[in-house]
Amino acid sequence: MAGTRPQHTDAEGVDAGVGLTALLVAAARAVETHRHDSLAQDVYAEHFVRASPACARWPVRIEHVPDGDDNPLWGRFARYFGLRTRVLDDFLLRSVDDGARQVVLLGAGLDTRAYRLDLPSDCVVFEIDRAGVLAFKQRVLTGLPADPKVKRVPVPADLRGDWAGALTATGFDPAAPSVWLAEGLLFYLPGPAETHLIDTIDRLTTPGSALAFEAKLEKDLQAYRDSPTYTATREQIGIDLLHLFDKGPRPDSAGDLTAKGWATTMHTPFEFTRRHGRGPLPEPNDALEGNRWVFARKPSP
């Protein structure tokens, strides 16, 4: 996840604010990986967690959590991240099957899709994030050691700056089909930055390209401040997500893409819970109620 404001940085080069949420997602993926009914496998995730002093004591197995799946953070919320990982993995693999050979991970964080997915050998994965996060990830993976299955291109850039110039400078070809993921990113960006990001993706993509991102419906986020999900995250690991989320009005990025000619669909995470038979379902005072997963494809004229 890319950062939206300056944060204190620990000795490992990962921010104690938004960057720390990348470690939260890694821990959730580790928990998911070790489940007997796992939705997604990421064998590298727990190594990131163990490499940072800020979260070295976090659980990486549900058996390490005293109240197990009843824990709102390591049970339900972590399972949400596992479900999201699986759904976006499937979207990426379908897009590659349709011919895309360039993968762009926006706010890549500790994503390891270049290492763990069976992508065609001629794929290139571009990972855009801040230099400190990318350096931390590289150090951990080099120490394992781990080798990507396809060409991986780190792109150190802030998504509020000229990330498009940095991307094309590393070899991205706007004339070739591409697939883009913005996983757990847009909540943190100011509305105008999100609009600029969507406009830039449209400009850098050719027909046959695809985009998946996570959005939140326009609601008063503070109404969910006492939800079990946000409360547990705040109290157990010190991450106040509502403080990190941008408070301004959210743009209708799905509608904007549709207006630009993209074929766009929007789904609740609960739809995929029912499809896969595991994952979070609606509950009272639900912090996930407004979350939407958007899938867009740029059709040929």
Residue 201 gets the label, from left (phi > 0), alpha (psi -120 to 50) or beta, of alpha
Instruction: Report the candidate in 17, 81, 62, 36 with the shortest Cα–Cα distance to residue 279.
Output: 81
How many CB atoms lie under 10 A from the CB of residue 232?
18
CATH code for residues 18-297: 3.40.50.150
* pLDDT of the residue at 247: 87
- Going from the C-alpha of 36 to that of each of 24, 64, 83, 258, the distances in angstroms are 21, 15, 14, 39
* pLDDT value of residue 105: 98
Provide the token pair at 156: 């150190």
Query: Which residue, among 61, 59, 48, has the nearest Cα to 22 in the 3D structure?
Result: 48
Please report the pLDDT score of residue 1 as a whole number. Answer: 46
- Pairing mode of beta strands 291-297, 210-216: antiparallel
Half-sphere exposure of residue 37, counting CA atoms within 13 Å on the CB side? 6
State the angle between helix axes of 131-143 and 18-33 in degrees (0 to 180), rounded to the nearest 10.
Answer: 30
pLDDT at 15: 52
Q: How confident is the model at residue 11, as a pLDDT?
A: 36
**What's the pTM?**
0.93
Name residue, tokens 């706007």.
174
- Token match 């964080």: residue? 109
pLDDT attached to residue 73: 97
Q: Please check whether residue 237 is in contact with residue 24, taking contact to mean a CB–CB distance below 8 angstroms.
A: yes
Per the structure block, which two tokens stand in for 74? Answer: 């390591």
The H or E element that residue 128 is part of is strand 124-129
* CA angle (296 as vertex; 94, 103 as ends), nearest 5: 55
Given a contact cutoff of 8 angstroms between Cβ atoms, the answer to whether 68 and 111 are in contact is no
Q: pLDDT tens digit string along 88-147? A: 999 999 999 999 999 999 999 999 999 999 999 999 999 999 999 999 999 999 999 899
Residue-level pLDDT at 204: 98
Q: Could you state, in order of their start, the residue ranges of all structural domains in the chain?
A: 18-297
Q: Please name the amino acid found at residue 245.
A: F
Distance (Å, rounded) from C-alpha 218 to C-alpha 216? 6
The rounded distance, in Å, linking the Cα atoms of 183 and 34 is 22
Lookup result for tokens 């950062």: 3
Q: What are the average pLDDT values for consecutive 10-residue runs of the chain, which has 301 residues?
A: 38 56 96 97 96 92 96 97 98 97 97 98 97 94 95 95 96 98 94 96 98 87 87 95 90 96 98 97 93 95 71
Tokens describing residue 98: 């349709």
pLDDT of the residue at 221: 75
- C-alpha 157/C-alpha 171 separation (Å) is 15
Residue recorded with tokens 């792109």: 155
pLDDT at 223: 78
Residue 2, pLDDT score: 39
190-196-201-206 Cα dihedral, nearest 10 degrees: 160
Q: What are phi and psi of 259, to 5 degrees?
A: -65, -25
